[in-house]
Structure 1
Amino acid sequence: MLNHESLKKRIDLYAMTTFGGDFKDLLDSEKYVVLSKAMMETILPHWNQSRKNTETMKKAYYLSSEYLMGRFLTNNLIAMDTKDEVKEILKNMGVDYNQVEESEEDPALGNGGLGRLAACFLDSAATLGYPMDGYGIRYDFGLFKQKIVDGEQVEVADNWTKYGDPWGIRKISEKVRVTFKGGEIYAIPYDYPVIGYDNKLINTLRLWKAESLDEFDFRAFNDQNYDLAVKAKNDAENIAKVLYPNDSYEEGKKLRLKQQYFFVSASLQDMIRRFKSKNLDFEDFPKYHSIQLNDTHPAVAIPELMRLLTRKEDVEWDKAWRITTATFAYTNHTLLAEALEQWPERYYQELIPQVYKVILRIHQMLIDELKGKGIQDHDLNRYEIIHNGNIRMAWMSIFGSKSINGVARLHTDLLINQELNDWYRLYPEKFNNKTNGITQRRWLLQSNPELSELITELLGSEDWITDLKMLKNLESYADVPEIMERFLQIKWTKKKQLSDYILQEEGEEIDPDSLFDIQIKRLHEYKRQLLNAFHILFLYYELKENPDLKRVPRTFIFGAKAAPGYVRAKAIIRFINNIAELVNGDPAMEGKLKVVFVQNYRVSYGEKLFPAADLSEQISTAGKEASGTGNMKFMLNGAPTIGTYDGANIEIVEEAGDANNYIFGLKVEEIEKIRDSYNPEEIYQKDPKLRRVVDTLIDGTFEDKDGSYRELHNSLLYGANWHRADNYFVLKDFHEYRKAHEKADADYVDRLGWARKCWLNMSNSGKFSSDRTIEQYAQEIWDIEKI
């Protein structure tokens, strides 16, 4: 319960001291800052108490290069159970909470599923009462803010802190120095509260900002050498400027490595400083720390901890290695070879030679161990951490960790039986599966309050908010027409809200009575947005040739960012927007087909998109998507999956039933059988309707401004020097994909039957709560206890 008068006074005070005006007269973005600062006063005592309560406990520490947190304000108010009170207080002050909420910029701290998973894990740990802190980088501009100009992705700076950063507390007294060859920089911590739902525990996300030891060279400035005067400052701050700087060229690659080492070294120094205050022997370090590496980006933590222990704390090497391997655990997020990081040795030699020396010794220690296990010299190259002039970070992570986990059952099986089989045979006890999850607090309670209210009403309890398995008790309502009608009305409401938002943001009118077919995720070839695009063109030509063809009106919605240097992915974005222009500009498609590519897809957009979906597109090539979490968000909000036997799709279908989803395409084992003999040109030549669609890339249907469409066309039919033709089996899976859509189209006509499918997906989504995932990590890897 809030003290209303006290909060009003704080709001008025912060309005005057921060922006020099009355609260009601401020810009909405300024009101957001003021309200957040006022609420931080309520949070801080509980946060400080949580720190005290957990300081003697073993903690988990999550090292991640990104955290896709989403907006803070509403999420924190819901966790504190104060949202309704705050809305009422603002209403009495003549202020609309919804406008304040909408003015908050999404923190530009992450990009895709990796970063969103980290955010969900932080939420679950705090809610369940597990002490777990996150460490990462406080990026100035994140990845980028995406604009679509003439159909093309244009990247602009995402200055998310331009109005302030009220949830982050700068802790300059706890700064540390990070050393690179040629100099040192400061890592300045910014702490963000991670508030557990209806729980006194508040964990911490600590993000590091890079700053120069010497911000300004007065002598250089006085000599009128103005660029040199601020060079040190700029060089330091570049490290934390953007997430994943373009690494098309060597300087970008080096900057990425500097980013990784910067936040890892700062985080480990921070942990060691706190540990030393306990006056314990370093042998006890693993009794208080379990460090999870979120993919290979923070893998340099293994040699860095060895360096800090042996070079700075005088711990003997073998003892330090026992400490290190008992502390670290590694999550593998990908089967893509190009995503298993390797760094040229010379980058380490040029940037962090002090760590390179440690890696050399770890590498030799591995070779000695392998020989001791009877591995022959001619087989050593399969395991070498340093190989052909490169440092293999996944191999470093496996050798230096106590646990290696995949993130869906299929993914883990593929790691064990194929990709990492050599390592599995060496260390079978290290390998395990932890299927990913999502937090229902963000992705149902916050983003779909209408459905949340119905769930609470039918269950007679709000306990599902922290125990998602309870949704299973709703299955029987799938056969109650009155409930299904209410569910359909809620779905229509969410579709109408999304329609209004898309009209406001994109200037596109869409029909909430149409089927909303949504694919929102990072743009990558293996995720096969191109397959979706080809299908839309197929439908377009079918409807053009057969105007009386009875098909359910469809709105196809895409949201995706392509990495700035990923030329082919950016070509696919342009292709989708060209298709949208063709379809939406054709009067014959009115009431039949609509295509929208939403700009700058992000968490706050996702909160509107997931609840409004009728069909969830999860169509990655089998064996390529480690897990997926977007699929879980759609399921939770009652949308059937149209997808492949890939990642967590398999487990989703197991939970909700094959009859309630639309699974198509090659399975992993089928791909393995045909990979060497597959000839996509045969499919292309035999299917004239498919050929017509594919040839829109080169036949003048769309302008090929830079030759990228022809290159895309060639990659499908003839391959490229780095991959085979149709490397992701777009053409091979097209026919089955089209048939699955026809089945979904026919089923959608039966409104109560469709509602039943949606409802059974939602009521069987309990397994996919990140609460379940965190319980497994805590008990099976981290060995931490709830407060």
Structure 2
Amino acid sequence: MDLRQGIGLRKLGKTADEFQQDLLSNLYYRRGTTVESASARDAYEALAQTVRDHLAERRARTAAAQFASNPRWVYYLSAEYLLGAQLEQNLLYSGTGDLAAEAVKALGFGLEDLEDLDVEPGLGNGGLGRLAACLVDSLATRDIPAVGYGIRYDLGIFRQVITEEGQAELPDDWAFHGNPWEFPAPDDRQAVGFYGHTEPIPGSTTRKVWVPGEVVLGEPSHMLVPGFGTETVNIIRLWSAKASEASFDLSRFSAGQYAEAVQEAVRAENISKVLYPDDSTELGRELRLKQQYFLVSCSLRDIVRRFRLRNEGWDTFADKTVIQLNDTHPTIAIPELMRLLVDEYEVEWEQAWEITRRTFAYTCHTLLPEALETWPVRMFEKLLPRHLEIIYLINMLFLREVEARFPGDHDRLRRMSIIQEDPERRVRMAHLAVVGTEAVNGVAELHSKLLRETVLDDFAALWPAKFQNVTNGVSPRRFIKIANPRLSDLITEGLGDDSWVGDLERLAGLERLADDASFRERWQAIKRANKVDLAAGDPDSLTDVMIKRFHEYKRQQLKLLHVITLYQRIRQNPAADWVPRTVLFAGKAAPAYHAAKDIIRLIATIAARIEADPVVSPYLKVVFPSNYNVTLAERIIPAADLSEQISLAGKEASGTGNMKLALNGAVTIGTLDGANIEIRARVGEDNFFLFGLDAYEAARARINGYQPRHFYERDEELRAAMDTLTSGVFGEVGRRVADSLLGWDEYLTLADFRSYLECQEQVEKSWRDPARWTRMSILNTAHSGFFSSDRTVADYAARIWRVAPVPVPRED
């Protein structure tokens, strides 16, 4: 019997009765309870395990097909995965939604009640993690053999609470009740070293022995990642840090030194305790670097193990393996693979370097210099001494290559070196990522262009063919099919079938319905119903949404200046015909990013003042739902009328929130930044509200000596808004935000203020014409097909990964 084919396994139920029997078996044998005594959580856990069993059966067939094919694999290394809640998606992808609803009803529960118990895994923070989740979804949907690697954080980023004092952070204990979607594998641990020293190997100039001073164990678990409309089920493999068996000091414990007895275990397990530990301290920065190395060390050993299941020697490693670095966080994987090949497997340096460069690809997600990670050399030397030696050698050989191409250009050598010398010696991780990979891509057309022209221009001059663009995309299953079922049903009715869910370009067929008055009325009614469900304000008001991570370059402060101006206009002329507007902010600020937290506090202060003003509150409302995550996004996005994408041009890499909102029929107001440019080109200039400086104008403004006070003094409404902030009406936080804008205004907020206000007046003019606005909304959805993560994965597969699908045969 061929066990890989799963022959002899019990078949899972395909009928309602059979599914119910499977559910009862899980209730009895896994939960250890009965129908009569089962709680809602018992029912949820049993249901989740039953659905997981259906996916696990597909996973077994997927693994067999992929093993037999021995293809080139995609390994996706990411510090974050924002997966969202799993139950509803897995019901959809397994085709068991109707069966589950009937089965749990027989237990006395409603399916929606059990879905409310499904907590999304706290494995990410923002767009980076959400993109990673969308791409692994689309990899499975495209039948591409892939494994996503990440860390199983105990507490995720943090749980946000918004008060009048601003943002407060609480632990996000997302797995408090366990996680029924994962398969722990405690017998497959990897040992990860830190600190220590290196020793030379006699007769070798490149090989060394690293003797770690501390060893931590990486314990894996995996979650299933099913494809939509296919049999493929891939996995995400997540690592938890565990102490070695010798970490508990029994003698200290017996002496009553309880904390000291477990301190080694606590130090080890801190590595996977929380996503992005605060890096405002030396210990916090060291923990971040440990976290990054822990991820790649465990993952690379697993990747090598998987390669050696079907292959011998190293000549074919790069032909069978492509490792995508999702931003700079996993870049230490480059010297780690060199260490494994050279030190442990005794591969010659030149062959190992060729293998490494052909194996890795790097996605850069930023244009901000501060986001291109660097690490102090002294920290590397202490924590990862062997890796620093390898980086030095890589850098020496690389600079010889640059010198040969650009002889005598010492400034270029200094700029391109992996080691930054001034003002402190640091390892430039983005430079290492470019040097050690076969391909580098940006995530939107403008972003990729600016990477080549500015941030990484020296490298693009050396290797122009290495640089690519792959515009981001989002999962249409998660962000319209699941998030917006009313609209999904109307789209399916309008197009005649639901094949658009797997082929988003078919949404273009909605264009012919944009001028159908009856269709527009139904579209408009769905948007209103979604706003009623959101319950954030008057459902007949313009729902103006700004949902994203808080950062000064994203310019939530520009939106606040608009809110203050509206407030003052209404106060001055309350009898005018105002367009009622609900302004909704959501997002988190990094705990140590005080300027961003000031903006959140100012929003809370302004919201409270408007709410208490009987003159203004009938026309203007500001709301800030706390703890923005995928689940909350799925409620907000379907209700949005206006999508705020107002970052300073040239600062946002791409954005994915802009895509999700446009896909759900929100009309964008935005700058020519990131993927806004591509959205505007596809939905049409008449269906996009454009304002502000472009990236080159913004750069010239800085070069020419930008003075924010010049705009303050020339614009009466801007001056009034700023004076309100400095007056203390909104407390000290208002003064701090105003002082920042008047003193430096790094992101040219005041320069774009008047253009933004005039554009908002065009928004209100369009809103007053419901037929026109609804037509714009429909056309935004109709022309968002390009922004599917399925297309993004197809682009990666063809241009960077060079991988082919491996279809999984359907069950007989």
TM-score range, shorter chain: over 0.9
Q: CA deviation at 1:714?
A: 2.1
Conservation of the 8 A alpha-carbon contact between 2:587 and 2:628: yes
1:717 and 2:742 correspond: yes
Aligned to 2:428: 392
One-letter amino acid matched to 1:7: F
Q: Which runs of 4+ in 1 moved over 6 A?
A: none
**Residue among 776, 785, 788 paired with 1:766:** 785
**Residue among 23, 34, 41 paired with 1:11:** 23
1:138-191 deviation digits (Å, cap 9, x = unpaired) = 000011000113331110000001111111111122211111112111101110
1:744 and 2:756 correspond: no
Conservation of the 8 A alpha-carbon contact between 1:80 and 1:198: no
1:380 and 2:380 correspond: no
Moved more, 62-71 or 32-41: 32-41
Aligned to 1:722: none
Moved more, 357-366 or 582-591: 582-591
TM-score, normalised to structure 2, is 0.93
The CA distance in 1 between the partners of 2:128 and 2:36, in whole Å, is 39
One-letter amino acid matched to 2:796: Y
- Judging changes above 3 Å, is the alpha-carbon distance between structure 1 residues 242 and 23 closer, same or farther for their aligned structure 2 residues? farther
1:115 and 2:115 correspond: no
Q: CA deviation at 1:26?
A: 4.6
Aligned to 1:541: 568
Q: Secondary structure of 2:647's match? A: coil
1:646-681 deviation digits (Å, cap 9, x = unpaired) = 000010010011111101001011112211321111
Conservation of the 8 A alpha-carbon contact between 2:327 and 2:365: yes
Q: Secondary structure of 2:582's match? A: strand
Q: CA deviation at 1:2?
A: 2.8
Aligned to 2:586: 559
Matches within 5 A, 1:439-454: 439-454=475-490
Matches within 5 A, 1:153-552: 153-181=167-195, 182-214=213-245, 215-376=247-408, 377-388=410-421, 389-499=425-535, 502=536, 510-552=537-579
Aligned to 2:802: 783
Conservation of the 8 A alpha-carbon contact between 1:24 and 1:95: no
The CA distance in 1 between the partners of 2:470 and 2:530, in whole Å, is 32
One-letter amino acid matched to 2:101: K
The CA distance in 2 between the partners of 1:312 and 1:632, in whole Å, is 45
Aligned to 2:725: 697
One-letter amino acid matched to 1:166: P
The CA distance in 2 between the partners of 1:560 and 1:90, in whole Å, is 35
Q: CA deviation at 1:357?
A: 1.3
The CA distance in 2 between the partners of 1:50 and 1:318, in whole Å, is 36
For structure 2, the residue ranges without an aligned partner over 5 or more in a row are: 1-12, 196-212, 807-812
The CA distance in 1 between the partners of 2:407 and 2:110, in whole Å, is 69
Conservation of the 8 A alpha-carbon contact between 1:264 and 1:300: yes
Q: CA deviation at 1:343?
A: 0.4
The CA distance in 2 between the partners of 1:640 and 1:460, in whole Å, is 25
Aligned residue pairs: how many? 769
Q: CA deviation at 1:374?
A: 3.0
Conservation of the 8 A alpha-carbon contact between 1:33 and 1:163: no
The CA distance in 1 between the partners of 2:42 and 2:614, in whole Å, is 44
The CA distance in 1 between the partners of 2:366 and 2:343, in whole Å, is 34
Q: CA deviation at 1:30?
A: 4.2
Q: CA deviation at 1:682?
A: 1.5
Conservation of the 8 A alpha-carbon contact between 1:551 and 1:745: no
The CA distance in 2 between the partners of 1:261 and 1:148, in whole Å, is 34
1:312-370 deviation digits (Å, cap 9, x = unpaired) = 11111000000000000000100000000000011111111121111111111111211
Conservation of the 8 A alpha-carbon contact between 1:617 and 1:642: yes
1:678 and 2:678 correspond: no
Moved more, 210-219 or 25-34: 25-34
- Judging changes above 3 Å, is the alpha-carbon distance between structure 1 residues 279 and 755 closer, same or farther for their aligned structure 2 residues? closer
Q: CA deviation at 1:17?
A: 5.1
One-letter amino acid matched to 2:309: S
The CA distance in 2 between the partners of 1:38 and 1:78, in whole Å, is 14
The CA distance in 1 between the partners of 2:231 and 2:155, in whole Å, is 32
One-letter amino acid matched to 2:106: N
Conservation of the 8 A alpha-carbon contact between 1:631 and 1:649: yes
1:33 and 2:58 correspond: no
The CA distance in 1 between the partners of 2:495 and 2:557, in whole Å, is 42
The CA distance in 1 between the partners of 2:180 and 2:407, in whole Å, is 56
One-letter amino acid matched to 1:286: A
1:370-414 deviation digits (Å, cap 9, x = unpaired) = 122234234310110012110000000000000000000000111
Q: CA deviation at 1:686?
A: 2.3
Q: CA deviation at 1:493?
A: 1.1
Conservation of the 8 A alpha-carbon contact between 1:33 and 1:164: no
Conservation of the 8 A alpha-carbon contact between 2:51 and 2:94: no
TM-score, normalised to structure 1, is 0.96
The CA distance in 2 between the partners of 1:593 and 1:279, in whole Å, is 65
The CA distance in 1 between the partners of 2:121 and 2:36, in whole Å, is 25
Conservation of the 8 A alpha-carbon contact between 2:72 and 2:319: yes
Conservation of the 8 A alpha-carbon contact between 2:19 and 2:99: no
One-letter amino acid matched to 1:777: Y
Conservation of the 8 A alpha-carbon contact between 1:75 and 1:442: yes
The CA distance in 1 between the partners of 2:273 and 2:43, in whole Å, is 27
The CA distance in 2 between the partners of 1:474 and 1:463, in whole Å, is 13
One-letter amino acid matched to 1:556: V
- Judging changes above 3 Å, is the alpha-carbon distance between structure 1 residues 28 and 741 closer, same or farther for their aligned structure 2 residues? farther
1:608-649 deviation digits (Å, cap 9, x = unpaired) = 111110000000000000000000000100011001000000
Aligned to 1:80: 94
Q: CA deviation at 1:29?
A: 4.1
The CA distance in 2 between the partners of 1:378 and 1:764, in whole Å, is 46
Conservation of the 8 A alpha-carbon contact between 1:81 and 1:198: no
The CA distance in 1 between the partners of 2:697 and 2:335, in whole Å, is 40
Conservation of the 8 A alpha-carbon contact between 2:51 and 2:90: no
One-letter amino acid matched to 2:232: L
- Judging changes above 3 Å, is the alpha-carbon distance between structure 1 residues 25 and 666 closer, same or farther for their aligned structure 2 residues? farther
For structure 1, the residue ranges without an aligned partner over 5 or more in a row are: 503-509, 719-724
Matches within 5 A, 1:551-700: 551-676=578-703, 677-700=705-728
Conservation of the 8 A alpha-carbon contact between 1:523 and 1:569: yes
The CA distance in 1 between the partners of 2:227 and 2:478, in whole Å, is 12
- Judging changes above 3 Å, is the alpha-carbon distance between structure 1 residues 481 and 279 closer, same or farther for their aligned structure 2 residues? closer
Q: CA deviation at 1:697?
A: 2.9
The CA distance in 2 between the partners of 1:378 and 1:542, in whole Å, is 54
Q: CA deviation at 1:698?
A: 2.6
